[in-house]
Structure formats: structure tokens, C-alpha cells
A and B are shown apart, each in its own frame.
Chain A
Amino acid sequence: QVQLQESGPGLVKPSQTLSLTCTVSGDSVSSGSFYWTWIRQSAGKGLEWIGRFYTTGSTSYNPTLKSRVTISIDRSKNQFSLKMPSVTAADTAIYYCARAVGGGGIFQHWGQGTLVTVSS
């Protein structure tokens, strides 16, 4: 059974870069037809799909965040990461990593989530 675990700073200052890592166990980020995905949840915007990395190496991002987000994979550590520069208070949210199927749009397995607060 695949398990995902988010890690990273819980507090980020405005204008700095948010960096999170998702460690995967019970599966390989390099194999299968899976989409390694980031989703966030905030009081203001609800659940919001951020983007994904496919095992072939392709990425896709939410158009509203595309210019600000990078998702990458570290195959040696079986992890994938999210980087979002120039954060504002509006980026305060619970960030989830997930494994998706069905063209990347069916979020079968989720991490427990990590709260990131943007504040000085």
C-alpha cells in the first residue's frame, strides 16, 4: 500500500520560497502510470489542484499558478518536491501530496497534509 508523507517548513515569510517534499513508500516514483501530485486546501479557496509530475518526466500545472510553481522528482530518494517562490499570505494553506491515476485527475492516495503559514 502506497504511503505519502509531506515535509517542509511550517512558516514561510512573505516573498520567500515555499519548498515542500513528499516522501513515497510502498511504490516507486519512477515506475507505473502514476501522476505525483500537489494539492492545497485553504479556507478561502477550498481544495485547489497545484500540479503534477508524470513518471515519463512531463509536468503540468494549474494555469492560475503555472508561473510560480515547479514540481520535480528525486528518483534516488523516491521523493517529489514543490517549489513556489514569492509567496504571499494567500498561499497559506494545508498542502497535500497525492498519487493520481486516470490521466492525473483521480486522486487515489493522499498524504496527511502539512500546514504552511505565510507570515512575517
Chain B
Amino acid sequence: DIQMTQSPSSLSASVGDRVTITCRASQSISTYLNWYQQKPGKAPKFLIYAASNLESGVPSRFSGSGSGTDFTLTISSLQPEDFATYYCQENYNTLSFTFGGGTKVEIK
């Protein structure tokens, strides 16, 4: 099984800050990596696919990068509506899919 590890598990930041979240896979997954945002009491929202491609309608302040085992999600200028928990997820094979443990972005 592929394991996905996110860091940090939580962070505090201010509006306007640049925020970077890291996701590491236990084996190489090329760019088969997706990112989701989840707010309290809501379902996850799909943000980025194939490591760096923004889903339609996602603000351009979000960006993703990486390949192989190391990936990052960056929010270039944190907005009030961006305070949430972010999850990475691999879809390297089609038999099973794994999510990371999440990174909670809190207000400083």
C-alpha cells in the first residue's frame, strides 16, 4: 500500500501570508497526486489534480507542484476563506487510493 504523509499537521498563518503544505508518498507516484480542501462540517472540495493542475473555478492563488514522492500545495496569499484542512491523495494505481492525514490551516 502507498502511504501519504503530510506536514505539518497544522499551522497558524495570517491573511496575506504565503503558505506551503508538503505531502510525501511512500513510493514514487509520478504526478498522480490530488489536493482537496475541507471546511468544518462540509465535504472535501476538489482543488488540484495531477499535482499541478487547478480544477476549474479554483482561485489562482492556489498552486501545486512536485513529482515522484514529494509534493507541495502553496497558497500565495492566504485569504479568510482559505482557513480549512487540506488533504493530498494519490491515484497512482486504479485498485485503491490513499489520502494524507491532513493539514489544518488556522488563523494566527
Contacts and interface: CB of A to CB of B under 8 A. Distances in A.
30 contacts: A46-B87, A46-B99, A46-B101, A47-B87, A47-B89, A48-B99, A49-B98, A60-B95, A62-B96, A63-B96, A102-B49, A103-B91, A104-B97, A105-B32, A105-B89, A105-B91, A105-B94, A106-B34, A106-B46, A106-B49, A106-B91, A107-B34, A107-B36, A107-B44, A108-B55, A110-B45, A110-B46, A111-B43, A112-B42, A112-B43
Q: How large is the interface on B (under 10, 10 to 19, 20 to 34, 35 or more residues)?
A: 20 to 34
Given A62-B96, A107-B44, 20 more contacts: A46-B87, A46-B101, A46-B102, A47-B44, A47-B89, A47-B102, A63-B95, A96-B43, A96-B44, A104-B94, A104-B97, A105-B90, A106-B34, A106-B49, A107-B34, A107-B89, A108-B55, A110-B46, A112-B43, A113-B43
B24 to A, nearest CB: 16
Contacts of B99: 46-49
